Amino acid sequence: MKVAIVGTGLMGSSFAHSLRDNNLASYIIGIDKNKENLSTALELNIIDEAIEFEQIASREDIKLIVITIPVDKIPMVAIKLLNNVRPGQIVMDMGSTKSELCEIIKEHKNRNQFVATHPMWGTENSGPQSAVKGAFKGRVLVLCDTDKSDKDAVAFVENIYSTIGMRITYMESEQHDMHAAYVSHISHITSYALALTVLEKEREENRIFDLSGAGFESTVRLAKSSPDMWTPIFMQNKYNVLDVLREHIHQLQILRRMLEKDDVKGITESIQKANSIKRILNR
């Protein structure tokens, strides 16, 4: 099978590795406006060929087209691909937000050839040089609005993700965006906020370096994530992110009042309640 990947950054290149390592793709074509990423992906043998976006329409040999670019660019790219998609070709995305995309393409005559997907995986790094082999194994894959996609197309995509080791779950696009805000997007925005707090209050860089332990480093790790990727995610999922932020700030205010009042019992009970998340995460 020949696969075209639009976007040869971390996600696209890691997916290319998984396709190749699991014998799912015989030939991988890369498309990217970032010519440095494209060149690196070629040099690292992540892709076999680089072409211009406009050339996809003339390639009858491509079975699957995968979109792995910032979420604000996905809807327009999806429309352009669906305008020229051939019978039997499948288009899918790997973006972190779904509502806006699915709303924009819902009336397209070739909507049934599109499958909306979100692999719940990522790192704070970017670019094809940061690609991870086996990245998706054991992770969760969300398929959205599958009733709008052709059954054979969905089955085709399900087989790919199952083969690379992902656990598949299904959601409506709006439901997905709400849950993603609570379990993914809030982690990033609070990591950025913590990094900004420390940078504002701790002016001596050496002290940050000398005193930071594993706890601090793991908490702010996500603050190294690219703004090119995360600013569009926050904006597209704005209302869900604002909702979770309100609750997060509320919880911080409760803890702050407990500290001000030397409420040892309250703080202890709050920590114990928070500890219960281990039971969920260890399932």
CA-to-CA distance for 250 and 244, rounded, in angstroms? 10
| pLDDT of 214 | 60
Termini Cα distance of the chain: 36
Which residue, among 43, 148, 63, has the nearest Cα to 98 in the 3D structure? 148
| pLDDT of 277 | 83
How open is the CA angle 73-115-167, to the nearest 5 degrees?
110
pLDDT-based confidence at 249, cuts 50/70/90?
very high
Question: What's the pTM value of the predicted model, to 2 decimals?
Answer: 0.90
Strand partners, 64: 3, 90
pLDDT-based confidence at 254, cuts 50/70/90?
very high
Q: Which residue has the higher pLDDT, 201 or 25?
A: 25
| C-alpha of 117 from chain center | 10
Per-residue pLDDT tens for 54-71? Answer: 999 999 999 999 999 999
Per-residue pLDDT tens for 168-197? Answer: 999 999 999 999 999 999 999 999 998 898
| pLDDT of 170 | 98
With a cut of 90, say whether residue 12 has pLDDT above it. Answer: yes
| pLDDT of 208 | 61
How much of the chain, in percent, has pLDDT values that exceed 90? 86
Same topology for domains 2-171 and 176-281, yes or no?
Answer: no
CA-to-CA distance for 31 and 60, rounded, in angstroms? 16
Tell me the one-letter amino acid at 99. Answer: S
Task: Indicate the range of 139-153, 181-195, 212-226, 242-256 predicted with least confidence.
Answer: 212-226
CATH number for region 176-281: 1.10.3660.10
| pLDDT of 218 | 74
With a cut of 80, say whether residue 204 has pLDDT above it. Answer: no
Q: What length does the chain have?
A: 283
Residue spans of the domains in the chain: they are: 2-171, 176-281
CA-to-CA distance for 85 and 7, rounded, in angstroms? 18
| pLDDT of 212 | 58
Residue 146, helix vs strand vs coil? helix
- Write the burial class of residue 185 (CB in 10 Å: 0-12 exposed, 13-18 middle, 19+ buried): buried
CATH label, 2-171, candidates 3.30.420.40, 3.40.50.720, 2.60.120.260, 3.40.190.10? 3.40.50.720
